[in-house]
Structure 1
């Protein structure tokens, strides 16, 4: 069985601090590069989507001038639903 010691606690805190500062250093070094690559990739995907959308809209234009109007639903009148009776309340003094 091991016992906790003050020197072991100090050593562990020292290792945690070293790990923190090394991680912080590498994050400052590599984080801008990683963010730049992600932004470039997203920009490329956006441009590809825009090009595909523009290309598809030009290709899908119909050549005929036929217009179809569905009047089946237009003949039905709207009905208002009654939820309940209106009750007028008066204050009693």
Structure 2
């Protein structure tokens, strides 16, 4: 059976603290670069999707030379529902 020693505890604690500070230092160096790359990649994907969507809409309209304007809905006037009268009031102290 092994017994834990004070020296082993101090050594383990030192390794944990050293690993923490090394990781923190490396994160400060490389994390901004990694985040920048991820943002650029997301921007490129977004632009590619927008160009693809615009390209499809242009292709659909370029094949059809005829323009149809639906005026059936434009001639109907929209009525608003009248629920009740508007009452202006003042607060009394």
Unpaired stretches in structure 2, ≥5 consecutive residues: 69-93
Task: Judge which range, 53-62 or 19-28, deviates more.
Answer: 53-62
1:20-48 deviation per Cα after TM superposition (whole angstroms, max 9, x unaligned): 00000000000000000000000000000
**Shift of residue 65, structure 1, vs aligned partner:** 6.4
More helix by share: 2
Equivalent residue, structure 2, for 1:10: 10
- Secondary structure of the structure 1 residue equivalent to 2:2: coil
CA RMSD of aligned residues (A): 1.6
Equivalent residue, structure 2, for 1:19: 19
Unpaired stretches in structure 1, ≥5 consecutive residues: 67-93
TM-score, with length taken from structure 1: 0.65
**Shift of residue 19, structure 1, vs aligned partner:** 0.4
Runs of 4+ in 1 over 4 A off after TM superposition: none
Equivalent residue, structure 2, for 1:50: 50
CA–CA separation in structure 2 for the residues paired with 1:10 and 1:55: 65
Q: How many residues align?
A: 66
TM-score, with length taken from structure 2: 0.65
